[in-house]
Amino acid sequence: MFEQSIILSAIRDAIDWVLGLVGQDISILPLPVQVVLCGLIAAGGLMGAIAFAVLIYVWMERRIAGRMQARRGPNRVGPYGLLQTVADTFKLLRKEDIIPTGANRILFAFAPMLVLAGVVAAFAAIPISWDADKGEPIMIADIDLGIFLITAIVATEVIGVIMAGWASNNKWSLYGAMREAAQVVSYEIPLGLSLLVPVLIVGDLSLGAATEDQLGGNWLIWRNPFMWAVFFIFYVAGLANCKRAPFDLPEAESELVAGFHTEYSGLRFSFFFMEEYASMTLISAIGAIYFFGAGDLFGLQGSSSLIMFGVLLFKILVSIFVMMWIRWTLPRLRIDQVMTLGYKVLTPIAFFLLLGVTVWDLYDLNDKLWELFSRS
Amino acid sequence: MYFDYTNVLIFFLVGIGFVGVNMVVGSLLRPSKPNPEKNSAYECGEDPIGPNRVQFDIRFYTVALIFIIFDVEIAFLFPWANSFQEFKAAGLGGLVFFEVLVFVSILFLGLVYLWAKGDLDWVKSTEAQRRAALAHRRAEEAKETAADSAKSESATELDLTVAAEAGHH
Amino acid sequence: MTAAHIAFAAFALITVVSAFVVASHRSIVHSAFGLFFTFFGVAGLYLTLGADFVMAAQILIYVGGIMVLLLFGVMLTPSRRSDFVPARFLRALTLGAIVLVGLLWVLKNAHWATQELASPESTIDEIGRQLLTREQYLLPFEVVSVLLLAALIGAAYLARRRKIVD
């Protein structure tokens, strides 16, 4: 019929168990209903996870910013200020929703939906762990196109941003949106080129295959001397794609007020915020899976998929911390510097790295060098 | 395959629905007291000046054009990267590498061309743009002069202004 | 009526309705945003045909690339609403009707090879194989790079020319 991934079949079993309490089983539901129901529960779980993660991230960001600037950060609401973001959420819920006169109401409302939907859909193709018994990755949908689909689907976010900027009927918004679009689009080239390298080595577009390939400490970052440079390009381009500092000029507070979301207020604004943190997580997850062995800890994790999930989560959090560290350390770039870096530095280097990695892999230089080394 | 993509689609729709549901729930909790002042476009407290949908520079367009070409290139390279190990296992690795070397080099040539021509410069291009516009205007004036000798005096005057402007920069 | 039929109908509906908005809306920016949904609908149609790589490429290049280009193009032209000209509309309607009749005629008379839709395998491996094999699509693959180079140079040249005219 169809192959259900581990998560979805677990959800299916759970539904079956719940229906069993009332003396039924899952076969009373027609097949399409089952499929949609399982998908909805999985997606709902992901949305909950993202919302929870954003609460933690915002708290982290404020505390880290505080420490880096030799101040305390939020510390009054709850222990260590942990409930500060929860309180802020209620504040945002209670804020009036303002749609400026002259704004296009439909596009204004649709833009945050589109921006968020792309990132959420991309998470469906991210493996969160590895099941050693069944020998397959734990993910929602193990798509053969994997990273190619993720790249494609994340690219739709730009349209949402331009839509938000144009629909707002505000000069700041439109300037911010155009800048953002030009920047994101420029950095998609080095991002795509650097993602080709792990695909090339693994020989499969699916991220699940990359997870399997790196089990037992065989991380892609050790495979050849170019990988650190490739990862660096990936990370910088990823930062630019998330609009994170030092690439946050689409929403440069000091010059463009708040960029493309100037006119967004309250809850509606918070979705853009959510998207920023969600795409940071996405980039970090891809980085961890494609360069740093996904959930692998040199094989020490044994066959427990739960520990692997924890390890992956830890790697993602480290990456998020580095992003925050960069934000509070580096000053914002100017638009011409952004463009120069993208087209004249990262893109050519990414081209050469791609060819270099291909040659290295083609002639198995690792083995040859090892032979040479061990002979002498 | 369809089943996997159904799930991606469900995730996409849930992303859209999440915003919608939250906005509806939020509307029960939040106040709504609009007034013209509050609803006017934000321009740092001033009344908005001029049309809000401003025109943009051609540079943005150039960036998008360059991007599309490289985007298509990357779309072609993904199947190659996917199949490389398979070809290598079949002993055709060198051939496939050469094929892609040609493909990438030709497009890299394009990047070099853009670089040399200054299309990748964000700031310098405005200067070049100004100069080009001035040269163009001059050529137009010269054409008019040739066509209509009666207005030659005023044209020369204009020409002089243009020359003075060009000299100024 | 299977799930595949419903999916096809939904994607076709999105495509046609948004294409109608593109063609009929007075504001050019609205038309551009309408095109976004058309591209998405077409991507969905590719998927229902089992062409997953083409679907992703459609999203990557058309939704993420061409759309941005179009919107940038729209943003740098002075915004004005197109007027409704009855004579022009009538002409377009006639032409459209002729094309529609032609299409319907073809639809009716063509011999369609039909096949039950089983869930197909991903096409990506086969595409990679054929694209790089000399007997198959290697030459087109290499020629594409030359074509892209020509497009790149042409586009840059035109963009530079446009600057002069402004």
3-state secondary structure of A129: strand
Are A92 and B23 in contact by the 8 Å Cβ rule? The answer is no
Write down which chains contact chain B via at least 3 CB pairs under 8 A.
A, C
Query: Is A316 a residue whose pLDDT tops 90?
Result: yes
The encoded tokens of residue A175 equal: 């300037």
User: Does the distance separating the beta carbons of C119 and B99 come in below 8 Å?
Assistant: no
For residue C78, the tally of other CB atoms under 10 A from its CB is 7
Which residue is it, tokens 């402004």? C166
Q: Using the beta-carbon criterion (under 8 Å), do B27 and A97 form an inter-chain contact?
A: yes
Strands (E), chain A: 129-131, 136-138
Number of domains in chain B: 1
Nearest to B113 among C52, C153, C165 (CB): C153
Type of residue at A285: A
Residue at B159 is within a domain: no
pLDDT in tens, B57-96: 777 788 888 888 888 989 999 999 888 888 888 888 888 8
Distance CA C74, CA C68 (A): 10
Nearest to B101 among A95, A343, A355 (CB): A355
Question: Which of C6, C42, C68, C75 is the best substitution to test chain A (most A C-beta atoms within 10 A)?
Answer: C68
Region class of B57: left (phi > 0), else alpha (psi between -120 and 50), else beta: beta
What H or E segment, with its residue span, contains residue B24? helix B2-29
User: What pLDDT score was predicted for residue C100?
Assistant: 93
Can you give the pLDDT at residue C166? 43
At C85 the pLDDT is: 77
Q: Which two tokens stand for residue A174?
A: 């439109």
Calpha distance A321→A318 (Å, rounded)? 5
Residue B90 belongs to some domain of the structure: yes
Higher-confidence residue of A219 and B162: namely: A219
Residue B52 corresponds to which tokens in the numbers above?
């809000």
What are the chain B neighbours of C151 within 8 Å (beta carbons)?
Answer: 69
| pLDDT band with cut points at 50, 70 and 90 for residue A342 | confident
Q: Which of A42, A43, A50 is nearest to A8 (CA)?
A: A42
Q: What is the DSSP string of A90-109?
A: HHHHHS-----TT--HHHHH
Q: What is the pLDDT of residue A176?
A: 83
Return the pLDDT at B168: 47
Q: Find the radius of gyration of the CA atoms of chain B.
A: 29
Residue A226 reports pLDDT greater than 80: yes
Chain A residues with beta carbon closer than 8 angstroms to that of B93:
362
Closest by CA position to A132, among listed A311, A313, A14, A307:
A307
In the predicted model, is pLDDT for residue C164 greater than 50?
A: no
pLDDT at residue C82, as a whole number: 66
C33 vs A32, A149, A163: nearest CB: A163
What is the pLDDT, as a whole number, of residue C18? Answer: 93
How far, CA to CA in Å, does A286 sit from each of A11, A43, A242, B31, C71? 25, 19, 13, 41, 30
Write down the pLDDT at residue A366. 79
* Distance between C27 CA and the closest CA of chain A, angstroms: 12
> Mutation test of the interface with chain B: which of C143, C152, C161, C166, choosing the one with the most B Cβ atoms within 10 A?
C152
Residues sharing a CB contact under 8 Å with residue B49, sequence separation 6 or more, in sequence order: B43
Split at pLDDT 50, 70, 90, the class of C79 is low
Cβ–Cβ < 8 Å for C120, B81: no
Write out the residue range of the structural domain in which residue B116 sits: 58-125
Cβ distance of A120 and B43 shorter than 8 Å:
no
Q: Best mutation site among C25, C26, C31, C33 for testing chain A: the one with the most A CBs within 10 Å?
A: C33
- How far is residue A19's CA from residue A12's CA, in Å, rounded to a whole number? 11
- Cβ of B64 within 8 Å of Cβ of A185? The answer is yes
- pLDDT the model gives residue B167: 47
Mean pLDDT of B12-23: 89
List residues in chain A touching C: CB distance below 8 A: 2, 32, 104, 107, 143-145, 148-149, 151-153, 155-156, 158-159, 162-163, 166, 174, 178, 181, 185, 188, 205
Q: What is the pLDDT at residue B169?
A: 44
Q: Which residue has the higher pLDDT, C117 or B12?
A: B12
Whether B132 is in a domain gets the answer no
Q: Which chain B residues are within 8 Å of A278, Cβ to Cβ?
A: none
- Give the integer Cα–Cα distance in Å for B79 and B82: 5
Q: How far apart are CA A46 and CA A40, in angstroms?
A: 10
Instruction: Look at B60 and C76 and tell me if their CB atoms are within 8 Å.
Output: yes
B26 occurs within a structural domain: no
Average of per-residue pLDDT values in chain B: 76
What integer pLDDT is reported at residue B125 of this predicted model?
Answer: 54
Q: For residues A73-106, b (16+ Cβ closer than 10 Å) or e, as one string? A: bbeeeeeebeebbeebbeebbebebbbbebbbee
**C120-140 burial, b for 16+ CB within 10 Å, e for fewer?**
eebbbbebbbbbbbeeebbee
- Alpha carbons C84 and C69: distance in angstroms, whole number: 26
Structure tokens at A338: 């952004």
Q: Which of B27, B52, B76 to mutate to test the interface with A (most CBs of A within 10 A)?
A: B52
Q: Is residue B9 part of a domain?
A: no
Mean pLDDT for chain A overall? 85
Judge whether residue B155 has pLDDT over 50. no
B78 to chain A, any CB pair closer than 8 A? The answer is yes
Cβ <8 Å between B66 and C152: yes
Q: Among B77, B86, B98, B103, pick the best mutation site for testing chain C contact (most C Cβ within 10 A).
A: B103
The closest CB to that of B117, out of C4, C127, C156, belongs to: C156
Confidence class for position B157, pLDDT limits 50, 70, 90: very low
Question: Per the domain annotation, does B31 fall within a domain?
Answer: no
pLDDT computed for residue A327 by the predictor: 87
Q: So what's the pLDDT on residue A318?
A: 93
* Contact call for residues A256 and A171 (beta carbons, < 8 A): no
Quick check: C60 and A151 CB within 8 A?
Answer: yes
Cβ pair A155:C63 closer than 8 A: yes
Q: Measure in Å the smallest separation between the Cα of C152 and chain A Cα atoms.
A: 14
Q: B13, B43, B104, C106: which is closest to A113 by C-alpha?
A: B13
pLDDT, tens digit, for every residue of A96-115?
Answer: 887 787 778 888 888 899 88
Between residues A262 and C67, the one the model is more confident about: C67
Interface predicted TM-score (ipTM) of this complex, two decimals: 0.88
Q: Where are the alpha helices (DSSP H) in B30-151?
A: 36-39, 58-89, 93-117, 124-147
The confidence band for A232, taking pLDDT boundaries of 50, 70 and 90, is: very high
The answer to whether position B33 is within a domain reads no
- What's at A348, amino acid-wise? P
- Interhelix angle C138-165/B58-89, rounded to 10 degrees, is 170
A residues 107-126 lying closer than 8 A (beta carbon) to B? 109, 112-114, 116-121, 123-125
Tell me which DSSP letter residue B148 carries.
-
Tell me the nearest-neighbour CA distance from C78 into chain A, angstroms.
14
Tell whether the model's pLDDT for residue A373 goes beyond 50.
yes
Please check whether residue B141 lies inside any domain of the structure: no
- Of all residues in chain B, the percent with pLDDT exceeding 70 is 70
Q: Is the pLDDT at C42 greater than 90, yes or no?
A: yes
pLDDT at B164 over 80: no
The reported pLDDT for the residue numbered A254 is: 62
- pLDDT mean over C5-19: 91
Lowest mean pLDDT among A16-20, B21-25, B111-115, C84-88: C84-88
Nearest to C146 among B78, B106, B135 (CB): B106
Residue C162's closest chain B neighbor by CA? B58
Q: Is B97 on the interface with C (CB under 8 A)?
A: no
The band of C142, judged by pLDDT with boundaries at 50, 70 and 90, is confident
Return the closest-CA partner of residue A224 out of A359, A47, A106, A334.
A359
| pLDDT score of B153 more than 60 | no
pLDDT bracket for residue B49 (50, 70, 90) = low
Which of B:69-88 have CB within 8 Å of C? 69, 71-76, 78-80, 82-83, 86-87
Angle in degrees, CA A163, A166, A170, rounded to 5: 140
